[in-house]
């Protein structure tokens, strides 16, 4: 039996990258995985590659009606939900002087409001002792230039692990965060506004700064997500698990 045998999971932003690999890992551990993303064709292809243990539901987390529909489908097909991985997120480099209202709402509507919609809409079907995992970022604890809106959004969702643990304690629902470091994905370069060459150089530089000597892999995050979803972490809540090879905590040079 797998570590998640019999569990039902929901993963947002699951058509590629961290979300898709987490869907793969959880399904391989025995969970039935509902996968959501905005691009229906890409999402359905991704879910189809995982076989009968995965189901695609096209949805935009920033739209409450979409997530209410996701909840209704899960309720009709499975009756309950044991795991949420609120993974959907966007961001790009924008200097403070260039931040517009539209840019702020673009990021916060997906990263913050989308996380609220995801969890809030699933509350009626969340099982006793369920696990909620929120994808944050190591950057929420750093001060990277030209990244203030994204970092602020990740700081905001990190605060949810404390308040929601308190609010959901009577149902023994655990709320934790995963804080990825440098994880090369399709979105890592293009959406952030870098060319493939610029992204490659940035990764090489960050690897040189990382105590473990490399950038991360999507499997580093999906493995951690499986742990937080499983009964192995049954006494862990309101905790942020940073998976970044030490990059955000250890300086590689003498000060």
Of the candidates 29, 77, 129, the one whose C-alpha atom is nearest the C-alpha of residue 21 is: 29
Token pair for residue 162?
A: 């404390």
- Look at residues 247, 226, 231 and name the one whose alpha carbon lies nearest to residue 23: 226
Taken in order 158, 162, 165, 167, the sign of the CA dihedral is negative
Locate tokens 């990190």: which residue?
A: 158
Cα–Cα distance measured from residue 246 to residue 84, given in angstroms and rounded to the nearest whole number = 26
Mark whether 150 is an active-site residue.
Answer: yes
Sign of torsion over alpha carbons 203, 188, 220, 151: positive
DSSP designation for 1: -
**Cα–Cα distance, 112 to 155 (Å, whole number):** 10
d(C-alpha 156, C-alpha 150), whole Å: 10
Catalytic position from the list 93, 128, 150, 235: 150
**Separation CA 39–CA 60 (nearest Å):** 9
Active-site residues: which are they?
A: 150
């Amino acid at each position: 039996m797998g570590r998640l045998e019999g569990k039902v999971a929901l993963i947002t932003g699951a058509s590629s990258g961290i979300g898709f690999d987490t869907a793969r890992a959880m399904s391989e551990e025995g969970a039935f995985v509902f996968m959501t993303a905005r691009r229906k064709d890409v999402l359905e292809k991704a879910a189809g590659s995982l076989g009968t243990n995965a189901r695609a539901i096209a949805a935009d987390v920033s739209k409450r009606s979409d997530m209410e529909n996701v909840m209704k489908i899960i309720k009709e097909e499975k009756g309950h939900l044991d795991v949420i991985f609120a993974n959907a997120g966007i961001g790009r480099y924008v200097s403070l002087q260039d931040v517009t209202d539209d840019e702020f709402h673009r990021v916060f509507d997906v990263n913050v409001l989308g996380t609220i919609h995801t969890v809030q809409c699933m509350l009626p079907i969340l099982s006793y002792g369920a696990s909620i995992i929120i994808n944050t970022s190591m950057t929420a604890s750093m001060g990277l230039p030209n990244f203030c809106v994204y970092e602020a959004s990740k700081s905001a969702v990190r605060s949810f692990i404390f308040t929601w643990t308190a609010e959901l304690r009577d149902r023994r629902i655990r709320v934790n965060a995963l804080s990825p470091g440098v994880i090369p994905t399709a979105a890592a370069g293009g959406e952030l506004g870098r060319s493939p060459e610029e992204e490659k150089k940035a990764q090489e530089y960050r690897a040189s700064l990382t105590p473990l000597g490399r950038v991360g892999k999507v499997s580093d995050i999906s493995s951690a997500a499986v742990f937080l979803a499983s009964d192995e972490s049954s006494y862990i809540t309101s905790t942020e698990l940073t998976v970044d090879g030490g990059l955000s905590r250890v300086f590689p040079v003498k000060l």
